[in-house]
Every structure is written in C-alpha cells, then in structure tokens.
Structure 1
Amino acid sequence: MASRSFYSFWSVMVVCALVIATAVYLSVTNGVFDISLLDVVKTLLRINPVPDYDLVIFEFRLPRIVLGLLVGYALGVAGAVVQGVTRNGLADPGILGINAGAGMMVVLFMFLLRGQLDMQGTLSVMAMPMFGLVGGLAAAGLILILARRGGKIDPQRLVLVGIAMSLGFGAATLYFSLKMNPQDFEMAVVWLSGSIYSANWRFVLAVLPWIILIPPLLWTRASKLDLLQLEDTSAISVGLAVERERLLLLIGSVALVAASVSVSGSIGFVGLIAPHMARRLVGLSHRYILPVSGVVGMAMVVVGDLIGKTVFAPAQLAVGIVISVIGVPYFVYLLIRARA
C-alpha cells in the first residue's frame, strides 16, 4: 500500500510539473507582446540581451508567474492543513473567513497608513504579511471558539460560523475601503479580487521566506496531522497533545494564508479544491497530501492566471475570479455529496 502511494505521489508530481511547465511557457511567450521561446532562452541566459525583452520578461511576466506559483503552493498546503485540523472536507481558509480576516487587516493597514507609505515600497510589502497574520489568527481563533459544541468542534457548525465570519470581515473591509480616497479604493478593490497582475520582485521577496520556512515545518508534523483524523480521545490515548498540535498547525496555515493574501489578495477555493484532488490521487497520508496539495495549488493559480489574461484579452480577469468560477460549482457539488 505504501509503495502504491509512493508511486502515485511521484506520478502526480510529474504530471503537475508538466502542467505547470506548459502554463509557464505559454505565460512567458504569449501576451500583448509575443516572444519566441528562443528569445526567452537568450534573454534568460543573457545572450545578446534586448532591452524590450528584458523589460517584458523580468519586470512583468516572470514576477507574476513566480508569485502565482508561490501563492498557489501556500494556499494548497494551508488548505490541506485546515481540512486536516478540522476533520472537515468542506473547510477552506477562504470559506472559513481566514482569508477575510487577513484581508481586512491588510486593508486596515492601507487605510491607516495611506499617504504615509508607498504601498509598493519594500517596508509596506514586508509589513503587510504581519498585519495579515494578526487578522487571520483572530479570525481562526473566533471561528474555533464559536464552532465548539459540547467541548468539540462541530464540522457543520464550523462551516456556518466561517461563512458568517467571512461576511462580517467582508463588511468591515468594505467600510474601510469606502473611507479611502478614490485612487486607494481602486487599488484595494483590484487587490481584494485576488489579483497578481501587479506583481513585482518585492512581492516575491516578501512571501518567499514564509514559503521556505513554514511548509517544511508543517510537513514534519504530517504524522501528527494523520493522528488528528482520529477522535480526540483516541489521539490522546496514543500520546498526542491534541490541542497543542492543532494550535501549532493552525498557526502555520494561517501564516501561509496571511502571507499570500498580503501580496495577492483573496484567492478563494484553491485551499478547498487542491486537498480534495490530492486525497483522491495519493490517498489519506498527509505525508503525501501536503506536497501534492501545494503543487496542485501552484498549477491552479498559474493556469487560472493564464486563462484570465489570454481568454479575455485585451482585458484581464483577476485569477481569483477565474478560480471562483470553477470553485463555486465544485463547492456546491461537495455540499450535495456531504449531505448524501
């Protein structure tokens, strides 16, 4: 069984890598200004560099692609952890209001410091994930408190409380947005829709340390996450500190979500769909689910961004909207299946 899961794991990783490579190739070479693959390779290897190609590839396309890959990976891993911690296949950082809590704090950051900091500057970009972390942790804490029934987390109550919290944080976000001047309001609205087309290398550097540090730490606790799928009494009987592990895992997932939201806005449904696909493809072991969820999330975001900028050209549709168009029917399907 283990060898079968191992084989499935590497098969899925190879297929996802091919999908990602294809999407990256199309994203780099196609657009308003088409560039051949040979010219892309020459530009990357600095062979007879052309200033126009340098500008398009290094300033516009590569930051957008790299940021999409990092955000997709973070959201996929975070979604798998949240579903594992809550033992609820319908749980998702976006549906549970964690995205909304992080987003509200980032918009509050924009609102309070408008005119004082360059929102594209290094200081602002580096500080926003910390504000997002505070909002995400606050949202997660409130949700876990309100979702308890009889001292245990009720899965159905968790989804209902999460939706209510998401609406509440969304209303607060809208209030702060409307208090902004028109220019800042427009920037906030575009950001909230889940967009990476304003990506730059500072955004990449802001989220990169979180991606490097947190997913490996979560992966080392994959066996603990497997034990959390048992009833609390059973997990405690085998020596697991249930509440501590649940808290640590939740903090890690919220940190990933906060970092992602701070640079790309709220991209929903990646954390819902990616873990479901991972479980279907590689089984129930979180040792395999976590990395596969991350890679599937990468593929979802980079393909969604490609669709948003090519299918609707010359207009561009935010990747968050593209993924939501796919995610909403999938969520309804999961609800119907859960009731059945």
Structure 2
Amino acid sequence: MIHPNIVKKQRLLLFSLFVLILLTTVISMGLGYSSVSYDRIIPTLLGEGTFKEEFVIFTVRLPRIIITLLAGMALAISGAILQGITRNDLADPGIIGINAGTGVAIAAFFLYFPIDVGSFVYALPAVGFVGALLTACFIFLFSNKKGFGLQPIRLILIGVGFSMALSGAMVVLISSSEREKVDFISKWLAGNIWGTDWPFILALLPWLLLLIPFTLYNANKLNILNLSEPTAIGVGISINKDRFILLLTAVALAAAAVSVTGGIAFVGLMAPHIAKTLVGPRNQLFLPIATLIGGWLLLFADTIGRNLVEPEGIAAGIMTALIGAPYFIFLLLKKG
C-alpha cells in the first residue's frame, strides 16, 4: 500500500509540473526570430490576432512546442522502461544505441527509397521502429550471458559500441548522397527539431496514446522486473515474455519520438532519475512525473537552444547533451 502522504506529494508535483510546462509554453510562444508580444498571445489563441501573429503562433511555434512535449514524454517513458527491464540506472535509448538504429533506418529510407510526400510523415515512425527493434534485439542478444541472463553493465557497453558502429554506418550512407539530403540527415543527427508541422503531431500522437497508458498499466510488472530474477519468477511472472513486450514498448516510443525530432539523447536518462528522487522508485508513482519532466526538459532545451543563436539556433539534441552528459558521468561515478 502506498502511503497517503506520498500520493499527496505526487499530485502536488504533477500540478506543479503542469504549471511549469504551461509557463514554459507561453514563454516559448513569445520568444523567437519573429517575436509575439505576451499580451497578444491569449487574444491570438482565441482568434483575435493579426495574420502575422496567427501565422507565427499556429504555424510556426505551437506545432513545434507540442512535438517537443510529446517527444520528451515518449523518451522519458522509454528510458524508464529500459532502466526497469535491465535493472540498470544508466540505460537510455540514446546511450545504448536505439536512437542510432532508428537513425540508420530513417537515413536509408530517406536517401534510397521513393518517397511520397503525403505518406512520408506517417511512415517515419514505422521505419524508425523497425531499425530500432533490430538494434535492440542484437544488443539484448549480445548482452545475455549463458547461465547468468541479462548483464546490465555489459548491455551499456555493447549499446555504446553499437551506437558508434551505427554512427559510422550513417557516415557511409550519406557519403555519396545529394547535398540537400545530407544536410537533412546532418540536422537529424544533431537533434534539430525538424518535424514542426501539424501532420507530424498526428503521426506521433497515436503511438503515445496507446503506449503510455499501456506502460502505466504494467507499472507493477516493472516493479517486479526490478527485483532479482529468482524473486520475479517466484512472484509468478514470465520474465522473458514480459521483458520482451516492454522492450517493444520502449523501442516503439523512442523510435516514434526521434523519427520526428532527430537524435535526442539523455532525456530518457534524466527524467526517470529526477522523478525517482522526488517520489521514490515505485513505477506507479514516478512514471507520471517522469513523463511530464521529460516533456518539459525537451521543451526547455529547445526553447533555450533556438533563441541562443538567431536565426538557426542550437539543436535541442546538443542542448540536452550539454545538460545530460555531465549528469551521465556523475551517475557513472556514483555507481562505480
């Protein structure tokens, strides 16, 4: 049974995060190369803005804000699942190579397959999922030691190795491609939020509406998988089956997110850790908080990055790396 005080604390944190996200959203809508006065944001949202104000908010800013929020939430949940099923606090879809697998699949699709503009947006998450799934399966295959099961530290090392190898494969793919396509892939690799139109939201949203509730429903299984394997077997769950289903969920969430945002790392590492620090390690408690933290982290990184250097800005992936890399090193030293 969860103590009522902890539940009360969780609800207070959820409310505070909603307010923080709302404030960051308002600030993000007003900032940029074409600024909008803050006293004009609400009238514009209500349909009383000028053509320029409505164009900037509804066509440029709002889709980008929603995409970053959704992608950050997906990456946070994906990271939380990976940390649970591997019993490794350093697991993250960007660090262990899943994002790189998504990138290679999308690069190959973009560079060498005939693309219909209408279906391109909706095909990306599926293509990314195939690449990420193949990568994840190979990583898990090589991380399992006969007689000992999954080795968490081995998984991180093999994941980093796969990430480097796939990054090399990406360079080979783009080395003989057209300049325009190479520019797109380069921006994707840097984590430059590029899917900033409403169709990209429609492509990403169904994955989240299905998989985030599914993860929350399986929160107790994640709690059990965090225990030792003999204990989990004793409780009566099918470890391999449940671990594989949750792995598919994590891979699908990460692939859907990075297919429209580019190579974003460390959000899936930081958000679950911060949430666990606030409310403890129970998945029922920290998963909803990690979801909101992940959305806010990516929105904050993108808002800061695109306003540091005008008009292009700094890619959100670079901003999250600047924050997340020291955090990763700190966790690595702490575990050591």
TM-score by length of 1: 0.95
RMSD over aligned Cα atoms: 1.3
Structure 2 partner of 1:215:
212
Identify which of 255, 262, 266 aligns with 1:265: 262
1:45-56 map, 5 Å: 45-47=46-48, 49-56=49-56
Give the 3-state SS of the residue equivalent to 2:237 in structure 1: coil
- Whether the 8 Å CA contact 1:122–1:202 is kept in 2: the answer is no
Structure 2 partner of 1:19:
20
Does residue 107 in structure 1 map to residue 135 in structure 2?
A: no
Deviation at 1:179?
A: 2.5
Structure 2 partner of 1:96:
96
Deviation at 1:64?
A: 0.5
How many Å separate the matches in 2 of 1:219 and 1:244?
18
- Whether the 8 Å CA contact 2:67–2:195 is kept in 1: the answer is no
Deviation at 1:128?
A: 1.0
1:169-184 map, 5 Å: 169-184=166-181
Structure 2 partner of 1:147:
143
Structure 2 partner of 1:73:
73
Structure 2 partner of 1:226:
223
How many Å separate the matches in 2 of 1:181 and 1:164?
28
2:201 partner amino acid? V
How many Å separate the matches in 2 of 1:3 and 1:284?
16
Deviation at 1:151?
A: 3.7
Structure 1 partner of 2:62:
62
Deviation larger for 209-218 or 22-31: 22-31
- Whether the 8 Å CA contact 2:194–2:260 is kept in 1: the answer is no
How many Å separate the matches in 1 of 2:291 and 2:5?
20
Deviation larger for 157-166 or 285-294: 285-294
Q: List gaps (5 residues or longer) in structure 1.
A: none
Structure 1 partner of 2:283:
286
Identify which of 92, 117, 125 aligns with 2:115: 117
Does residue 274 in structure 1 map to residue 254 in structure 2?
A: no
2:330 partner amino acid? Y
TM-score by length of 2: 0.96
Give the 3-state SS of the residue equivalent to 1:205 in structure 2: helix
How many Å separate the matches in 2 of 1:5 and 1:175?
51
Identify which of 125, 128, 148 aligns with 1:129: 125
How many Å separate the matches in 2 of 1:287 and 1:29?
36
Deviation at 1:11?
A: 2.1
- Whether the 8 Å CA contact 2:13–2:289 is kept in 1: the answer is yes
Percent of counterpart pairs with the same letter?
36
Structure 1 partner of 2:43:
42
2:63 partner amino acid? P
Structure 2 partner of 1:6:
7
Deviation at 1:288?
A: 1.7
Q: List gaps (5 residues or longer) in structure 2.
A: none
Deviation at 1:54?
A: 1.5
How many Å separate the matches in 2 of 1:184 and 1:29?
31
Deviation at 1:198?
A: 5.0
- Whether the 8 Å CA contact 1:70–1:208 is kept in 2: the answer is yes
Deviation at 1:14?
A: 2.0
How many Å separate the matches in 2 of 1:195 and 1:7?
38
Deviation at 1:93?
A: 0.7
Identify which of 199, 204, 208 aligns with 1:202: 199
How many Å separate the matches in 1 of 2:209 and 2:321?
27
1:138 partner amino acid? L
Identify which of 217, 236, 239 aligns with 1:239: 236
Structure 2 partner of 1:311:
308
Give the 3-state SS of the residue equivalent to 2:32 in structure 1: coil
1:117 partner amino acid? I
The verdict on how the C-alpha distance between 1:142 and 1:225 changes in structure 2, with shifts beyond 3 A counting, is: same
How many Å separate the matches in 2 of 1:122 and 1:2?
51
- Whether the 8 Å CA contact 1:81–1:290 is kept in 2: the answer is no
1:272 partner amino acid? L
Post-superposition Cα deviations, 1:42-61, rounded to whole Å, max 9, x if no partner, equal 221112x4211121111100
Aligned length: 334
How many Å separate the matches in 1 of 2:209 and 2:202?
11
- Whether the 8 Å CA contact 2:194–2:262 is kept in 1: the answer is no
Deviation larger for 198-207 or 248-257: 198-207
1:28 partner amino acid? M
How many Å separate the matches in 1 of 2:235 and 2:211?
26
Which runs of at least 4 in structure 1 moved beyond 2 Å after TM superposition?
Answer: 311-315
Deviation at 1:313?
A: 3.1
How many Å separate the matches in 2 of 1:74 and 1:34?
29
How many Å separate the matches in 1 of 2:19 and 2:158?
39
Deviation at 1:260?
A: 0.7
1:57 partner amino acid? I
2:143 partner amino acid? A
2:13 partner amino acid? V
